[in-house]
Amino acid sequence: MSNAVTVEETINQAEVERKVGKAKALLILDHPFFGTAVSKRPIQYSDAVPTAGMSATGQMIINPAFAENLTVKNLMFLMAHEAMHYMLAHALRRKHRDHQAWNVACDKVINDTLIEANVGDFIDGGVTLHDARNYASEELYDENDDDMGSGGIGNDIGDPVDDNGNPLDESQMHQLEAQSKIDTIQSAKAAKSSGKLPSSIERMVDDMVNVETPWHEKLERYMSSKVKDGYSWNRPNRRFIGQGVYLPGTDYVARMGELVVAVDTSGSLDSKELGYFNEHINRIVDTCLPEKITVLYCDTSIGGTAEYTPDDLPIKLQPVGGGGTSFKPVFKWIEDYAGDVECLVYFTDGYGDQDYIEAPAVDTIWLTTGREDFKFGDVIKFDMEV
């Protein structure tokens, strides 16, 4: 699909579209994984982006003025690059991260993957990192690394919005992630049937589909992303206090903010599951060192609370209460709490009144032994056997 929009008269639009068509045909012939993926993405020609871009919903955008000076092989690289942003759901995975620094991390992964697979010609000036294809973008993310290079494709990951510019809700994002995964698997099957599926892509698809990461590793990875950079307003820089200037000092122990752990005590979680969760949450907390940990025990109401600091570890969870399940008391507690909660980890079987609660301002992790279709937050499936 091709949608021409108003561009400078000096640009030979027909020639640009001809080169794009040829690049797409060569991708299908020589690199069917990327060719199939690119063929599924609608292309819009627009100067709304300086080079090229990919929206969260899978709309590829190419600036004709940028494309005009590229070779067909450059365009092969360009379109495969944009298609990978969609397949890897980069717009949806950004979350709290700095937009440009996240783009840099994602581009490192994509560019190394394409170079290793010998897809077209790399566009000079883009960012590269050897072996980046073997990492997730989250692992390479550095909020201080926002250097997109001197050329290349640039900042091309769209915001998590729909085609009308409205923010995507959780259900829409889950649906888009599921669809991008399906498209990726289908593209891999097409390439594999022709014997042209790169080993790096095969590993990527296997990781996406087949490899089950233990719940505690997922939770640790998430909480580790919340660890601060070592600067703290709780310990101001003494050099400037005498001048009446308050700047953050260095807190030599990197730590995350306040953590709330909610435990569903309705009777659906047994003591063995609670003990297994307790073991791993202590290890994760010992790594991330939250400023404060509050444990809430809740069935139809909050039946008990406990507070910990890193000096009080380990956390000792106790089975308290029994009866039905209501999530509302925990979110009401957070709403009324005067402190600043970094994230909530809710350990539950998932069966409760979630249809009657609104998404809170705090990041939420549902660690669930049962139901997984939550309206908001990130969901991690709890498994005793993994």
Question: Mean pLDDT lowest for which of 166-180, 227-241, 244-258, 334-348?
Answer: 227-241
Q: Residue 248: what pLDDT?
A: 44
Which of 14-23, 212-221, 277-286, 366-375 comes out lowest in average pLDDT?
212-221
More confident residue, 30 or 353: 30
User: Which domains occur in the chain, in start order?
Assistant: 2-211 (no CATH), 221-381 (3.40.50)
The whole-angstrom separation of Cα 94 and Cα 113 is 20
Please check whether residue 74 is in contact with residue 93, taking contact to mean a CB–CB distance below 8 angstroms. Answer: no
Indicate whether 210 pLDDT > 80.
Answer: no
- Looking at residue 1, its pLDDT comes to 41
Write out pLDDT tens, residues 104-125: 999 999 999 999 999 999 999 9
Higher local confidence (pLDDT), 322 or 370 = 370
pLDDT above 60 (res 233): no
In terms of Cα–Cα distance, which of 38, 15, 20 is closest to 187? 38
Q: Which residues have C-beta within 8 Å of that of residue 269, sequence separation ≥ 6?
A: 263, 319, 347, 348, 349, 369
- Band of residue 5 on the pLDDT scale cut at 50, 70, 90: very low
Per-residue pLDDT tens digits for 162-187: 999 999 998 888 789 878 888 888 89
Query: Between these two residues, 141 and 239, which has the higher pLDDT value?
Result: 141
Q: What are phi and psi of 94, to 5 degrees?
A: -65, -45
Give pairs for 170-176: CB < 8 Å, separation 24+.
170/359, 170/374, 170/375, 170/376, 170/377, 171/375, 173/92, 176/56, 176/57, 176/58, 176/89, 176/92
Q: 212 exposed, middle or buried (CB, 10 Å; 0-12, 13-18, 19+)?
A: exposed
Query: For strand 363-368 and strand 43-45, is the pairing parallel, antiparallel, or unpaired?
Result: unpaired
Q: How far apart are CA 135 and CA 143, in angstroms?
A: 17
- Residue 234 above 70 pLDDT? no
Percent of the chain with pLDDT over 70: 88
CB 273 within 8 A of CB 369: yes
| Average pLDDT value for the chain | 86
The sign one gets for the Cα dihedral 89, 91, 92, 97 is positive
- pLDDT surpassing 70 at residue 236: no
Q: What is the pLDDT of residue 247?
A: 45
Q: What is the pLDDT of residues 307-322, one digit of tens each?
A: 998 888 889 888 676 7
Higher pLDDT, 207 or 337: 337
Q: Is pLDDT at 31 greater than 60 in this prediction?
A: yes
For the segment 225-240, the average pLDDT, to the nearest whole number, is 55
Give the pLDDT confidence score for residue 289 in this predicted structure. 85
DSSP string, 326-379: -SHHHHHHHHH-SS-EEEEEEEE-S-SSGGG-PPPSSEEEEEESS----SSSEE
Question: Tell me, what's the pLDDT at 232?
Answer: 47
List, for residues 47-91, the tens digit of each pLDDT value: 999 999 999 999 999 999 999 999 999 999 999 999 999 999 999
